[in-house]
Amino acid sequence: MRRLYCATSPAESCANPALAILRRTMSANELTQVIIFGASGDLTARKLVPALFAAHREKFFPGHFQLIGVARRPWDDAGFREVLDTTTAKTKDHDQAAWEEFLGLTSYVQTHLDTAADYAELGRRLNQIAGRPANRVFYLAVKPELFLPSVQNLTSAGMLDQSAGHFRRLVVEKPFGTDLASAQHLNGELLKLIHESQLYRIDHYLGKETVQNLLVFRFRNAFFEPLWNQKYIELVQITVGETVGMEGGRGGYYDTSGAIRDILQNHLLQLVALVAMEPPATLKSKSIRDEKVKVLHCLRPLTDMPEVENHIVRGQFEGYRTEQGVNPASETETYIACRTYIDNWRWGGVPFLLRTGKHLPARYTSITVQFRMPPTTLFGSYNECHLRPNRITLRIQPNDGIDLDFDVKEPGSGLVVRPAKLNFDYNDYFHHKPSPEAYQRLLQDVVLGDQSLFIRSDEVEESWRWADSLRQAMQQTPVHTYPKNTWGPATADQLFGECEGRWTTG
Ligand code: BG6
């Protein structure tokens, strides 16, 4: 992870730390080709191209940059550029001149990814477009069934060979497997073909600003760090709430996935790992990933819980079964909430309550850490069995920031205790300086060769180990239907013990 300390006015390196590092590691003449497999897909238009455009506009690539789209459609370069021009999500301050310059750096190569014979031509075209030796990032924005054939074909064609001194890196989108066995198989096969250091398993949540801030917040602030354990913390709750449902024809995919595979196994467990990990020895990717994997390893399988129906609530929004592509008798969960534990020294006995759902009333992702009550001898039984006064909420999105809840004395002659709040908002504090989009940050890290914000093979397997236990245990619980625009099944409130508070909703 890039480390720079900028106390006050930014020097150039602080204004753009990534660029400063890159200039030290790549020469101004080097060429980087980003090759997107699945270039006709939705992710390319919505996320990848805008991210690369922003990086190019901010002059991230010190040398030269080219984008090559690869898919089955019979397009040529001009056709691809035309498609990008109409489908790419553009920002409000879209700069047309820069965009046209960027389009001039794009090309297209028609390829059937599962056909080995097509790779010789792909390799020839990449060399021809480059005109000289180039670094290459292959981004697999394709169906999971194509991950392995694509990498096998790239390897057989010698296209992942780095012996000439230029890097070959591979970015793999989620889902990485559908359970522990399939993830192990995929890891095993991929790692026969490519070194772990070339493999970037992406989870775009790790590119979000507030997610990255978790490390700074926890390990840079002396007044939080000493309290961050079971002695002082009573409960941690994490919500990834979404207002969206099956838009964009996602029903078919989602029905085979569900909330556990789609969000909980990856985005949400990454938040758990970052909030609960031990301080890493350094900010190098190995140290960070070593600590995260230990947390995932200690997550208690739901199948080990007695009365598992008291620890899991699964739901499905009303009307889900009539969505396009969804089985009319589907039991797939569009909402899941559970109570679990991290069985290690720091967290022993502290419940972690996790939930995610579609069609909730707000897009709201947050982590709330709730502290134990101090002795109540002085101020009587106020709040004894009510919401705990001391809480820290890390708001991931929207409106990234941090809230502190605490009690104060109400002004006046009596002694009345009232809850109060301190808020920190990134936008206000940093004068609306926009953060890079998650995909931009992550793509830049791939070029930098920094794997800290990517998932290592053992992390992905530990996440599936636990997610599988949840999926298995969930079979013992009913599917509750919930109306759209509500916070899911009402029974999810019962996951909290009597005096443990309730779900936060922003
Ligand atoms: C994706 C899921 O990984 O993350 C989607 O497949 C989900 O179902 C999306 O909507 C949420 O991402 P964000 O950044 O909008 O919170």
| Secondary structure class of 267 (helix, strand, coil) | helix
* CA 358 – CA 314 distance, rounded (Å): 12
- The mean of the pLDDT values for the chain is 91
Report the nearest atom of ligand 1 relative to the CA of 266: 3
Q: For CA atoms 111, 112, 113, 116, give the dihedral sign.
A: negative
3-state secondary structure string across 125-155: HHHHHHCCCCEEEEEECCCHHHHHHHHHHHH
Does the N-terminal peptide bond of residue 175 adopt cis geometry, omega within 30 degrees of 0? Answer: yes
Centroid of ligand 1 to alpha carbon of 210 (angstroms): 16
Q: How many other C-beta atoms are found inside a 10 Å radius of the C-beta of residue 488? A: 30
For 398-443, how does the pLDDT look when each residue is reduced to its tens digit (9 = 90+)?
Answer: 989 999 999 888 999 888 888 899 999 988 898 777 777 899 999 9
Ligand 1 proximity of 262 Cβ (cutoff 6 Å): yes
CA of 259 from ligand 1 middle (Å) equals 10
Q: Which of the residues are catalytic? A: 267
Task: Match domain 11-173 to its CATH number in 3.90.400.10, 3.40.50.1100, 3.40.50.720, 3.10.180.10.
Answer: 3.40.50.720
Could you state, in order of their start, the residue ranges of all structural domains in the chain? Answer: 11-173, 206-491
| Model confidence pLDDT, tens digit, residues 155-193 | 999 999 999 999 999 999 999 999 999 999 999 999 999
Q: Is the peptide bond before 328 cis (omega within 30 degrees of 0)?
A: no
Indicate which residue's Cα is closest to atom 5 of ligand 1: 262
Q: Is the CB of 437 under 6 A from ligand 1?
A: no
Say if residue 451's pLDDT is above 70.
yes
Residue 11 has pLDDT above 50, yes or no: no
Ligand 1 atom closest to residue 438's alpha carbon, by position in its atom list: 14
User: 97: which 2 tokens?
Assistant: 């001149």
Ligand 1 pocket: which of 203, 253, 256, 262 to mutate (most atoms within 8 A of CB): 262
Which two structure tokens, joined as six digits, stand for 133? 């030796």
List pLDDT tens digits, range 134-151. 999 999 999 999 999 999
363 lines ligand 1 (CB under 6 A): no
Local confidence band at 506 (pLDDT 50, 70, 90 cut-offs): confident
Question: What token pair was written down for 142?
Answer: 């394709």
Distance 54 CA to ligand 1 centre (A): 21
Q: What percent of the chain has pLDDT over 90?
A: 76
Distances (CA, A) of 314 to 53, 259, 388: 40, 9, 26
R_g of the chain computed on alpha carbons: 24
How close is the Cα of 164 to the center of ligand 1, in Å? Answer: 38
Average pLDDT of the segment spanning 199-208: 95
Is 80 exceeded by the pLDDT of residue 483? yes
**Which residue puts its alpha carbon closest to atom 9 of ligand 1?**
263
For ligand 1, say whether the CB of 98 is within 6 Å of any of its atoms. Answer: no
pLDDT at 375: 75
- Residue 73 is predicted with a pLDDT of 96
- The answer to whether residue 209 scores a pLDDT higher than 90 is no
CA-closest residue to ligand 1 atom 15 = 242
The one-letter amino acid code at 487 reads W
Torsion sign over Cα 441, 443, 448, 451? positive
pLDDT digit string, tens, across residues 14-47:
555 555 555 556 666 789 999 999 999 989 999 9
Written as one string, the DSSP assignment of 299-360 is: BPPGGGSSSGGGTEEEEEETTGGGSTTS-TT----SEEEEEEEB-STTTTT-EEEEEEESS-
Mean pLDDT to the nearest integer, 203-218: 92
**CB distance 203 to ligand 1 below 6 Å:** no
Nearest CA-CA partner of 326 in 251, 245, 249, 260: 251
Q: Summarize pLDDT for 65-82 with one digit per residue, the tens.
A: 999 999 999 999 999 999
Predicted pLDDT at 10: 42
244 lines ligand 1 (CB under 6 A): yes
Is the pLDDT assigned to residue 12 strictly greater than 50? no
Per residue in 230-273, pLDDT (tens digit) is: 999 999 999 999 999 999 889 999 999 999 999 999 999 999 99
- CA 301 – ligand 1 centroid, Å: 25
Pocket probe mutation, ligand 1, options 263, 395, 399, max atoms within 8 Å of Cβ? 263
Q: Is the CB of 242 under 6 A from ligand 1?
A: yes
The pLDDT of residue 385 is 63
The per-residue pLDDT for 414 is 85
| Mean pLDDT within 315-322 | 98
Mutation test residue for ligand 1: of 205, 240, 267, the one with most atoms within 8 Å of CB: 267
Instruction: Look at ligand 1, atom 8, and give the residue with the nearest C-alpha.
Output: 262
The answer on pLDDT for 13 being more than 60 is no
The per-residue pLDDT for 8 is 47
Q: When comparing pLDDT for 506 and 425, which is higher?
A: 425
Q: Tell me which architecture the domain covering 206-491 has in CATH.
A: 2-Layer Sandwich (3.30)
Q: How many angstroms separate the alpha carbon of residue 121 from the centre of ligand 1?
A: 35
Q: Say how many Å lie between the CA of residue 334 and the centre of ligand 1.
A: 13
pLDDT for the residue 179:
97
Which ligand 1 atom minimizes the distance to the CA of 174? 3
The closest residue, in CA terms, to atom 13 on ligand 1 is: 205
Residue 123 has pLDDT above 70, yes or no: yes
Report how far ligand 1's centroid is from the alpha carbon of 244 (Å): 9
CA of 234 to the centre of ligand 1 (A): 29
- Indicate which atom in ligand 1 lies nearest the CA of residue 397: 16
Q: How is 454-496 classified by DSSP, letter by letter?
A: SB-HHHHHHHHHHHHHHHHHHTTSPEEEE-TTS-S-GGGGGGS
